[in-house]
């Protein structure tokens, strides 16, 4: 969802009788959404490269482990090959878990864009703007789009009047699942 930008852009420099702070607010919200979307598109290529790299590394580790099992006793024990392969695999899993941050960030930013766009839509409707039930519908619509429990907890806490810092702390206490790695494929969620 994208913010519908009012035609003609900003009139703040040369206001006329049709000038509206609502229109200016919607334009500013549009800028926020555009900047977030642009940043997400730029980072998407790098994130895909990282995901493919982690998957390839996991496949190589698994292939190396299988090859070592076939060789068996032929390798000198002092090389500690099996231990080193296990350590590489463990490091790769830790890297994938750290990589989850980027996936969660992307999801959250996408939800922020949806929230800002929905807010701009409501604010631009001069009739709905002053109807509490329309604000309730907006809140329900926004919450229903959240996929992560942390987002829902943060949203609910703030709507209940909890301070932002307390809401962030509450949401931060939710533990994330460990990513699944099988056959070299990484499943973040």
Split into its structural domains, the chain has a count of: 1
Q: Is residue 16 part of a domain?
A: no
pLDDT in tens, 63-102: 877 887 777 667 777 777 778 878 888 888 888 777 777 7
CA dihedral sign, ordered 129, 25, 162, 167: positive
Range of the domain at 31: 21-145
Q: What Cα–Cα distance (Å) separates residue 170 from each residue in 43, 105, 142?
A: 28, 18, 19
Q: Is residue 182 part of a domain?
A: no
DSSP 1-16: ----PPTT---SSS--
* φ/ψ (deg, to 5) at 180: -90, 135
Q: Is residue 39 part of a domain?
A: yes
pLDDT in tens, 97-123: 777 777 888 888 999 999 999 999 999
Q: Is residue 103 part of a domain?
A: yes
Q: Is residue 162 part of a domain?
A: no
Q: Is residue 134 part of a domain?
A: yes
Q: Do residues 28 and 20 touch, judged by C-beta distance below 8 A?
A: no
pTM greater than 0.85 (yes/no): no
Q: Is residue 30 part of a domain?
A: yes
Q: Is residue 67 part of a domain?
A: yes
């Amino acid at each position: 969802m994208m913010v519908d930008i009012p035609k003609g852009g900003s009139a703040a420099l040369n206001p006329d009788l049709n000038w509206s702070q609502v229109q200016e607010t919607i334009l500013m919200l549009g800028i926020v959404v555009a900047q977030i979307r642009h940043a997400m598109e730029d980072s998407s290529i790098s994130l895909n490269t990282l995901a493919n790299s982690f998957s390839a590394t996991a496949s190589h580790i698994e292939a190396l482990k299988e090859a070592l099992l076939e060789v068996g006793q032929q390798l000198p024990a002092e090389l500690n090959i099996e231990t080193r392969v296990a350590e590489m695999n463990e490091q790769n899993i830790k890297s994938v878990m750290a990589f989850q941050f980027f996936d969660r960030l992307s999801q959250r930013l996408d939800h922020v864009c949806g929230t800002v766009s929905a807010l701009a839509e409501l604010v631009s409707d001069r009739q709905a703007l002053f109807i509490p039930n329309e604000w309730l519908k907006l809140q329900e619509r926004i919450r229903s789009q959240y996929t992560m429990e942390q987002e829902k907890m943060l949203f609910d806490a703030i709507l209940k009047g909890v301070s932002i810092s307390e809401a962030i702390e509450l949401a931060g206490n939710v533990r994330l699942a460990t990513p699944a790695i099988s056959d070299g494929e990484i499943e973040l969620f």
